Structure 1
Amino acid sequence: MSFFEEWVELDLNPILSFSSSSKIIYSNSEAQFLLNRIKQKELFDLALTYAPKTFGALTSYIDLTIKNYIFYAITVSYENEDEIHMKLYKSAMVKKESKLNIKNINTTNIFTLVDLAISTSKIKNEINFIKNYDPSIPEFKLDASSFIKTLNSVFEVFKNKNNVTCSILLKIGEYIKIDNIKYSLISVEIVANEKSDFSSLNIRETNSFILTYDDSKVTIDLPLIL
């Protein structure tokens, strides 16, 4: 990898390249976090929206929120009809997630942790929990204490809901790069039967997972570290 390639890879702003059919040709590490939250077709459409009218590059200053990202500018460039390139500039208000803390973590059964949090919630609230677990997921390393605290906070948000579905699944074709090593993603999805207010969730930047929320769903993505 050349100096410039490594420089782009380490950039804290998402950088992506698309083919004319919206297929991703390149995405740096930061863009991988964004792709865990939004479909690549939506990002491709965003690039087309802010593309210059002729060959070259154009930077537009915007106020764009995507999940828990806030962007203040976008640069789109293309030199031919086959490829288009995009860089999104993150606001300083954005929660940094590019440095996940994977130190001091232990091998744990994630199903046991989720069941424990569900049991704790059911003691205090009358929620009908629906579980959808992928039994093929092995035990893997994670920060159990932080994960449990986060789950309890999420279930507290859902305490007045009638039905809550908890799914644990392997994200097919998605991964996260930490210290230049690619890890598959295990996703814990908690979905309620109506919209919720997640403003009370306060997740530390040093957590060993990625938490996102949207209307009635909370997603916790964890690197599959065996």
Structure 2
Amino acid sequence: MTFEQQWIEYDFNPFILFDSSGKIVSLNAEAQFLLGSSNTATIFEIATLHASQNFGFKTTFMDLEFGRYKFFGITVGYENEDQLGIRLYQVPSYHFSKPKIDSGEIVNVYTLIDLCISTNSISSKATFLKDLDPSIPDVRLNTNLFVKLLNRIYSVCLDSDEITTKLFFRVGEHIKFDNKKYSLFTIMISSSNIDLSKSSSIDQLAEQNSVSVEIKDNYVSVNIPLITD
């Protein structure tokens, strides 16, 4: 692999090269992750719709979203009828602090969720619902810090009638630390009434836990590297 090819391979932005029928000729590492949240036909259609009328390159600014991936623009280019390339400019969505792999302890995340639900249900009339993927293994977390984070998230939802906790793998998504790739899983806590005025404290606790959070009007999700060693 040439130095130029390595730049493409390790680019933060997905790059895909198609043949004229929409079959992938080549793609970089980030594009492989993207296709876990999208599909080849959709990306090819976007590329063909926004290609220049003549040979060459065309950049278009637009908002695109595929799962956790958000983009603010694309460049589409071709120099013959046989191949068409697209580069998608990514908006960073997850901000992980580098975890201390040897800190914390191996814990059962289901137990921590149940503990926090039990604690918060005492002071709330909300109905707590759970939708938990049973296949998440024990992971390395700082138990005290992580319980504080979950409790803080539940605390901003307590004025709702129902609070739903969903636990699931993020299929095809990974994060790298020290050249080692870790899968991701998510705890999503959703409700109809979230007090967004307390979101800054959630961000602070997430950083202390070396995890990423997404805070929306009706849910807060915690995205966690699957560290089992």
Task: Say whether residues 1:55 and 2:52 are aligned partners.
Answer: no
Task: Say whether residues 1:181 and 2:183 are aligned partners.
Answer: no
Structure 1 residues 170 and 87 mapped into 2: Cα distance closer, same or farther (>3 Å)?
Answer: closer
Structure 1 residues 61 and 157 mapped into 2: Cα distance closer, same or farther (>3 Å)?
Answer: same
Structure 2: gaps of 5 or more residues: none
The match for 1:216 among 215, 218, 222 is 218
Matching residue of 1:85: 86
Structure 1: gaps of 5 or more residues: none
Give 2:98's aligned amino acid: N
Measured on the aligned residues, the alpha-carbon RMSD in Å equals: 3.8
SS at match of 1:201: helix
Give 1:56's aligned amino acid: G
Whole-Å separation in 2 of the counterparts to 1:68 and 1:117: 26
Matching residue of 1:201: 199
Calculate percent identity across the aligned residue pairs: 29
Cα pair 1:209 1:220 within 8 Å, conserved: yes
| 1:1-226 pair list within 5 angstroms | 2-11=2-11, 13-17=12-16, 19=18, 21=22, 26-29=27-30, 32=33, 39=38, 44=43, 47=47, 50-61=50-61, 64=63, 73-79=73-79, 80=81, 83-88=84-89, 90=91, 97=95, 99-103=96-100, 104-192=103-191, 194=192, 196=194, 198=196, 200-202=198-200, 203-204=203-204, 206=207, 207-226=209-228
Cα pair 2:130 2:164 within 8 Å, conserved: yes
Task: Give the structure-1-normalised TM-score.
Answer: 0.71
Task: Give the structure-2-normalised TM-score.
Answer: 0.70
Structure 1 residues 83 and 177 mapped into 2: Cα distance closer, same or farther (>3 Å)?
Answer: farther
Structure 1 residues 220 and 124 mapped into 2: Cα distance closer, same or farther (>3 Å)?
Answer: same
Cα pair 1:16 1:24 within 8 Å, conserved: no
SS at match of 2:147: helix
Cα pair 2:211 2:222 within 8 Å, conserved: yes
TM-superposed deviation, 1:128: 0.7
